[in-house]
Chains A and B, each alone.
Chain A
């Protein structure tokens, strides 16, 4: 299949305009040509005049393009006239002169759209909820939610291994009143690991208008509780509200590896299993544990092995011997530490693929205006908490860090990094990219000449210690990157 000439696909509008004006230029046989004598038409040779007139028609103007259109990629060739009669030239001349004499008018921008090649569009596979390359311009009318309910409650939710979200339900008046009582002029959040007692793990001063806060905490996999309050003039802590506890998710594999197994026959509904257990076990033992205890004591109603309709007998429990070699072999396959974790759900798929492929650009005259969420006007609270409960902020900030260690030596030298020998390129250079999460890293680099008589060393020490102000995310990183540790070379 022969590819269509570039002009048709790339500048469909321009091409369309060319053809359209040509089509318009050919007179219909039945139309009466009334040649008007122009008031002041300069005398010119007929052919030159025709050419000049035709050239004028090729430029977009109110006469040439009356529709806002986008050309289809293919236009039947038959429509373009083959011949132009001499009368046409005169008509063209008159028309052209008329056009030239018309007052220079403003060309609506929409008509010029598409004259330049369109900027690269969004590209690639689709994404969830997409209605076009840019969000649609929509207007909805309706009521607004109340600013607050005034219950004075403090809610706390873990959001990440190291982030908590707190918000408190105070009306503006309530907040103003409490701020006035505080020596700092604003409220303070205290975070405790475990119960609300003793010294807080973190104490955060919030803005006078804040009603929520994203707080960075140290311990993943831990229970936190929060307290909202203030220091009075006498330095006394006054509590406004306290939250129930929440637990931050773990961010690493557990160190405990003592394993425990249970056999839970699939065809037994839970309701039935619970009955069996309740009869025999008194306290709140979890189901899985209770079943195994009963099985060990030979409870008659629990089958020793589950029989399924698909296979006669299942594996009779795990092999007791789990050799260290098996464990190591499997660990290599299933080990992923936090930096190699790949979160591939619905949102980041699209972001990653979109970043890989073309860029998105909106035409200024495009029907869809890039609807960016309105920026909240909160001059006094740039970080962390939003100024008002109904702030529709879109602001976000992501940050991340990578480390590149690179160097060169004689091509036949032996180089070790962190004690592991590394392979040099044929020209004696090397480079390694690492993820750089928070932590301290120590990577000694040693180069020894091929004959072993000379050597050099450098001890590279790095540390990253991030402190956050406000809700800051981590830019997605190549999941194959590892932290700069000796084992990862």
Chain B
């Protein structure tokens, strides 16, 4: 063994839960991710367990995602959604009876949905517990991220807000996984000096930065991203490997864009008769994704061609081999130059594997198996394990950075979304004032303080400015920010000027019901 590869998957979705609607469009983000990423990922891990593969994976499960995966209402809705998918696949098999190519596709979906439901039922719909078990068995390392995935550097002017995001996440992780988190995924890998102080307080030992966060560290890190550095506070920072990112993401050579892979956009929800697909659409009135897609990317400008599963799996296996060979070559080139085995850190959004890139989980599986069974130069590890083995590292202060476009924080702070920040900054200062005033609140006041904390955390999510910039669902994102800020302002006014409105508080407690034990004192 000459070096290590650490695959890190960051699974996160913003908290979306609308009990006031029978069906809500944006809840489909969760349902799609469960069907196409989380359940297939569990299936891959179960295969590793069954085959006793010595593979390792690092998985970040965000607090908002865990909250949704554990929420009874959303679990019930997902179970119904999955039943609906199986029903749709059955209807499709019937409809495509005379067309062999499409019928085979429908049959494939039917089988995969059944498999997904089988895994779902086996774990009683509790995926958090399912992943926890894999961590307890030593196969994966689960790390946390900020409570509502806020962009921490943009809170540098109000340190208690950073502290609250991190400690709330730490508390939630404890309740989900029965231990303290040792690693954290900084949202968007966004780091600025000062964040590590609160990581140290939470007992967190390491985090990940984009490549230039390490390369711009002061003093200059001797080993680049091939070894971690210790921030002066003692928390370690790992840098994303440049080449392994490029291989998956590059517009010139990236794997997911291969024409053999399934096309994300040609969904039957857009192609087929509206009345036929309507019961299976994510939103009651508009066309949208059902989850059944029959075409492959194909490339070029011609008509899309039908998906061929075998060819796609063959592509995934080939790409896994290519990726592995590149990592082996990389380790062989770098290892002799270092005084310890290099580590290649390869982080990705979890939803890439399976949801955006349908064959992603199979790629991961091929990669792990080829790596473990066919060579001995590179071994899989987790950052925590690496720190266990190599406790001596260079001390340096990382460079403020993120993995967003242009490498800093432009994505989340530009003309499309800057309007959010003045409101957040006032709200944050008000939260601190509330925490300082109410040292001995009544029971009702305590409930209001907790809810104010929840509303503020939800307003701080970086997903909203991201969506405004990306334009995927801007009306919804805008409405969410306004609703949470308005609720916060109302609670603040009730606590400081008038009186807490209990019936209204009860109603919003039932809606924005994450972090039941949130501690408002973190904002002091």
Contact = CB atoms under 8 A, between A and B. Distances in A.
Interface of A: 1, 3-4, 6, 9-10, 12, 67-74, 76-78, 120-133, 135-140, 142-146, 148-149, 151, 155-161, 163, 165, 167, 169, 211-212, 214, 221, 244, 246-247, 249-267, 269-271, 273, 286-289, 291, 305-306, 308-311, 314-319, 322, 326-327, 329-330, 333-334, 336, 338, 341-353, 355-358, 367-368, 371-373, 386, 389-396, 470-471, 473-474, 476, 479
10 nearest A-B residue pairs (beta carbon): A334-B224, A74-B99, A286-B232, A126-B356, A249-B400, A126-B264, A306-B391, A345-B403, A287-B234, A125-B256
B11 to A, nearest CB: 12
A395 B404 CA distance: 19
Given A120-B301, A132-B270, A253 B419 contact: no
Given A72-B96, A145-B482, A160 B287 contact: no
Nearest to A251: B216
A349 B411 CA distance: 13
Interface in B463-513: 463, 466-476, 478-479, 482-483, 485-486, 489
B416 A373 contact: yes
B265 A260 contact: no
A256 B218 CA distance: 7
Interface residues of B, number: 143
Contacts of A151: 426
A161 B408 contact: yes
Contact of A345 (B26, B216, B251, B405): B405
A131 B289 contact: yes
A9 B193 CA distance: 55
B81 interface: no
Contact of B215 (A334, A352, A473): A334
A136 B266 contact: no
A360 to B, nearest CB: 9
Given A145-B423, A286-B234, A373-B416, A309 B216 contact: no
A139 B475 contact: yes
Contacts of A71: 273
A286 to B, nearest CB: 3
Nearest to B467: A129
Given A123-B265, A334-B224, A262 B406 contact: no
Nearest to A74: B99
B157 interface: yes
Task: Tell me which of A263, A349, A358, A373 has the highest count of chain B C-beta atoms within 10 A of its own C-beta.
Answer: A349
B415 A395 contact: yes
Given A1-B101, A259-B219, A140 B257 contact: no
B84 interface: no
A315 B339 contact: yes
A329 B333 CA distance: 10
Contact of B391 (A161, A265, A352): A265
A366 to B, nearest CB: 8
Interface in B191-242: 192-193, 200, 203, 205, 210-212, 215-220, 222-226, 230-234, 236, 242
Nearest to A141: B479
Contacts of B395: 260-262, 288-289
Contacts of A396: 414-416
B401 interface: yes
A318 B392 contact: yes
B181 interface: no
14 contacts: A67-B273, A72-B273, A76-B97, A125-B352, A135-B471, A159-B413, A214-B418, A256-B218, A264-B393, A270-B205, A287-B233, A341-B212, A342-B242, A347-B466
Contacts of B77: none
